[in-house]
Amino acid sequence: MLQQDPHGTLPVHLAIIMDGNGRWAQARGLSRSEGHRAGAATVRTIVTRCRELGIRYLTLYAFSSENWNRPRAEVTALFSLLLEFLQQEVPLLAEKGISLKVLGDLDGLPLAQRTALRHAIRRTAGGTAMTLNLALNYGSRAELVQAVRSIVREGLPAEAIDEATLAGHLYTAGQPDPDLLIRTSGEQRLSNYLLYQCAYSELYFTPVPWPDFGQEELDAALAVYAGRSRRFGKTQEQIDGS
Ligand code: FPP
């Protein structure tokens, strides 16, 4: 596996809210769908760079449960882009050892996308270099509700339920929490994304819209992250002394 992080300053898990495709397009007199197409090109660049750097988990917010409220044409365009992305990229993902996973309610997606995603998940399952999570039809509160439901269905006694039980029933079961969450395009909110998993994540907001977020922008965010001191509720003295 590629590993270019001898000092351990890279996030193991990077989560991204890819925002600003629409505004990027509008500023250029293009349709919102064309903005998403440019955004899909950025997905390729960022996946490639993360793989190159040795980031082990990359989670991209591709379609939230609330995105169904967008104009029909835009939703259709987003789903065709997803299909196109899978058709073009899955062989390369498999070759590069990148395993694709979906966070979200797969059953609520259109049949063609659901089928292509299931195929992509199977085809890339052996990849050990990196996990690429696509959050699709995803909402963090709904994720927590489905986790609680499945715990109740399993009949676990209340006293046996701890944080690990809950984490083990989320879509991210078995994965480390994101170390760094990046949101592009100026908004500074979480928008129902990985609320449980990001309890201790470092947050990085940039005004750069997602279609313009290239390798240099990513490297700049990672440099800021490398300079952060993560205390997880402890004092700096406790950390220095341990
Ligand atoms: C936010 O921009 C972006 C989305 C809602 C979807 C993200 C989708 C892509 C990057 C393209 C397809 C993805 C894959 C995995 C192929 P926005 O429309 O909310 O922008 P705005 O806030 O400027 O309107």
Check pocket membership of 85 for ligand 1, CB cut-off 6 A. Answer: yes
Q: Is the CA virtual torsion 47, 132, 190, 34 positive or negative?
A: positive
| pLDDT of 88 strictly over 90 | yes
Domain that holds residue 64: 13-241
Q: How many domains does the chain have?
A: 1
Look up 67 and say whether it is catalytic.
yes
168-177 pLDDT per residue, tens: 999 999 999 9
In a domain, 5, yes or no: no
> What does pTM read for this prediction?
0.94
In a domain, 130, yes or no: yes
Q: Retrieve residue 198's tokens.
A: 């990001």
In a domain, 227, yes or no: yes
Spatial contact of 14 and 59, defined as CB atoms under 8 Å apart: yes
**Ligand 1 center to 80 CA (angstroms):** 13
Helix (H, G, I), strand (E, B) or coil at 230: coil
In a domain, 3, yes or no: no
In a domain, 27, yes or no: yes
Q: Rounded to whole angstroms, what are the CA distances from 50 to 2, 61, 73, 126?
A: 10, 16, 31, 18
160-205 pLDDT per residue, tens: 999 999 999 999 999 999 999 999 999 999 999 999 999 999 999 9
In a domain, 135, yes or no: yes
In a domain, 94, yes or no: yes
Residue nearest to atom 12 of ligand 1 (CA): 40
In a domain, 207, yes or no: yes
Q: CATH number of the domain that 111 lies in? A: 3.40.1180.10
| pLDDT of 48 strictly over 90 | yes
Look up 240 and say whether it is catalytic.
no
